[in-house]
Amino acid sequence: SNIVAIVGRPNVGKSTLFNRLLERREAIVDATAGVTRDRHYGKSDWNGVDFTVIDTGGYDVNNDDVFQGEISKQVQLAVDEATSIIFMLNVEEGLTDTDYEIYEMLRRSNKPVYIVVNKVDSAKEELAATEFYQLGIEKYYTLSSATGSGTGDLLDDIVNDFPTTEYKDPFEGLPKITIAGRPNVGKSTLTNALLDTDRNIVTDVAGTTRDSIQTLYNKFGHEFVLVDTAGMRRKSKVSEDLEFYSVMRSIRSIEFSDVVIIMVDATLGWESQDMNIFGLAQKNRKGIVIVVNKWDLIEDKHTNTVRDFEKSIRDKIGQFSDIPILFVSALTKQRILKVVETAMTVYEDRKKKIKTSKLNEVMLPIFEGTPPPANKGKYIKIKYCVQLPTPSPQFVFFCNLPQYVKEPYKRFTENQLRKEFGFTGVPIEVYFRQK
C-alpha cells in the first residue's frame, strides 16, 4: 500500500496531523503491544483509497542542534520508505535554517512533497504563512489547529498523486515468504544460506513496489518467493539499529507475504519487538513460523533446553499455540531446509478450504457434545457452518443466539478446528451469526 510520511522539525505539530488522519480508523499498532506507546503507524483512507501514515516524530528531541543526527535520519527514512511526504512547518515559529535543510533533502529525493503550514487560524496568520514561499516552493497547504480545517484539500491531492500504474507481480500465485526480525538476528545469513546452495536458481526482481526484492527459490521440490524489502541484503544508509526503521520494513514485507518467518536470536530470546512483529503478522492474518537462530551458540544444551526455550516463547504469545518453533543455525546451515518445509506446510494450511459438508459433519456433533453454556435458561444451538472464501481461514457458525457465545467458546471452537483439520501456524477467525 501507499505510505505517507510526515516529517518536520520537533513540535511543529506532526503528531496532531497524524492523529487527525487516523481518527476514522484505529491505529494498526494499537493492538500490538510495545509499539503502542508511541503511535507511529496507522492505516487511513481517503476517497476510498487506503494508505499507511507514518509519524516520523517518534524520536523528536527538543533541540534543533541535533539536525544532523536524528532529524536527518528521520527525513532519510521518509525518503527511503514513503510514497509521499508531508513536510510540516509552523507559522508561529516561522522559517528556520533547519527547515531549509530538511527541504533540501526532500527536494533531492524526487518524491512528491506536500508542504503543510500548521496553526494557521486567522487571516493574519494566512498572511504570515507567505513567508514560506522563500523556500522556493510553488504551493503550500494550511492547516488550522483551532478548527481542524485543511486536511481535505491536502488529502485530495496526495491520494490523487499516488502512482496509478498497477504493479504486475511476476510471481503471481507462488507462495510469498518473508523473513522478519530484529537487526542482526541472522535474516540475511539465512536468506543467503538458502540461495547460495545453488546460485543459478536465483532470480532477483528489483524495482517492484518501491525497492522490494523478490527472489524465486526452486529446489528440493519447493518453489516459493522470498520477499525482501528495501534490500535486506544490502546495508542501508540509515542505521540498521533504528528499531523504527526495521519495524517499518517488516510491516511492508509482511503485508506482501503469505507466510512470515519470525527470526529470533537464541542468545537474546523473545523480546518486545518480536512481539510487535508477531502482532503484525497475526493481525494481517499471515502464516507464522518462529525460527530461533544461532542455536550453535547455545553451549549448554541439556535435554530440556529446547523445551524450556519453546515454553518461554509460547507463554508470551499466548492462545495461538500451534505455531511451529524451530531451532536452527543459519551459519552452519543446520536445519535450514526444515524451515523451508515448515513454511510450505503453513502456506498450504493457510489456503486450505474445508468442504461445507465435511465441516458440518465434523463440527456439529462436537457442538452437540459440548454446546455453548446456556444463558439465563436459553439454549444456544449451532445449526450450520461454512468456511469463507478468504485468503486465510475464516469460519462462520450460524446459531439462534450468537450474542451469547462468549470468548472461551470461540477459543474452544478454534481449537477444535485446529485439532480436526490442522491449521498449523495459521491465524483462524471464528464468527457466530444469526441464522
Nearest alpha-carbon partner for 12 in 108, 118, 102 = 118
**Closer residue to ligand GDP in complex, CB, 155/261:** 261
Contact 241, 164 (CB under 8 A): no
**DSSP secondary structure letters along 45-110:** EETTEEEEEEEGGGG--S-GGGGGTHHHHHHHHHHHH-SEEEEEEETTT---HHHHHHHHHHHHTT
Stretch that binds ligand GDP, among 25-33, 47-55, 62-70, 290-298 (CB under 6 A): 290-298
Q: Does 227 bind ligand GDP (CB under 6 A)?
A: no
Q: Does 216 bind ligand GDP (CB under 6 A)?
A: no
Stretch that binds ligand GDP, among 39-47, 139-147, 308-316, 324-332 (CB under 6 A): 324-332
Stretch that binds ligand GDP, among 168-176, 220-228, 292-300, 351-359 (CB under 6 A): 292-300
One residue of 39, 294, 350, 418 binding ligand GDP per CB under 6 A: 294
What phi-psi label fits residue 130: left (phi over 0), alpha (psi between -120 and 50 degrees) or beta?
Answer: alpha
CA–CA dist 272, 261 (Å, integer) = 16
- Minimum CB separation of residue 191 from ligand GDP in Å reads 8
One residue of 64, 101, 157, 296 binding ligand GDP per CB under 6 A: 296
- Minimum CB separation of residue 263 from ligand GDP in Å reads 7
- Which residue matches cell numbers 522490494? 212
**Assigned C-alpha cell, 307:** 523445551
Q: Does 330 bind ligand GDP (CB under 6 A)?
A: yes
**Assigned C-alpha cell, 35:** 509499539
CA–CA dist 62, 10 (Å, integer) = 6
Contact 278, 319 (CB under 8 A): no
Stretch that binds ligand GDP, among 8-16, 102-110, 270-278, 326-334 (CB under 6 A): 326-334
- Minimum CB separation of residue 218 from ligand GDP in Å reads 23
The pairing of strands 2-8 and 49-55 is parallel
Q: Does 184 bind ligand GDP (CB under 6 A)?
A: yes
One residue of 15, 189, 214, 229 binding ligand GDP per CB under 6 A: 189
Q: What angle do CA 318, 323, 327 make, to 5 degrees?
A: 110
Q: Does 249 bind ligand GDP (CB under 6 A)?
A: no
Q: Does 331 bind ligand GDP (CB under 6 A)?
A: yes
Nearest-CB residue for ligand GDP: 186
CA–CA dist 191, 172 (Å, integer) = 21
- Minimum CB separation of residue 93 from ligand GDP in Å reads 39
Contact 58, 80 (CB under 8 A): no
Q: Does 340 bind ligand GDP (CB under 6 A)?
A: no
Binding mask 114-133 for ligand GDP (x = CB under 6 A): --------------------
Q: What angle do CA 235, 237, 238 make, to 5 degrees?
A: 105
Stretch that binds ligand GDP, among 3-11, 276-284, 289-297, 357-365 (CB under 6 A): 289-297
Residues binding ligand GDP: number (CB under 6 A): 16
Task: State the residues that interact with ligand GDP by CB under 6 A.
Answer: 181, 183-189, 232, 293-294, 296-297, 329-331
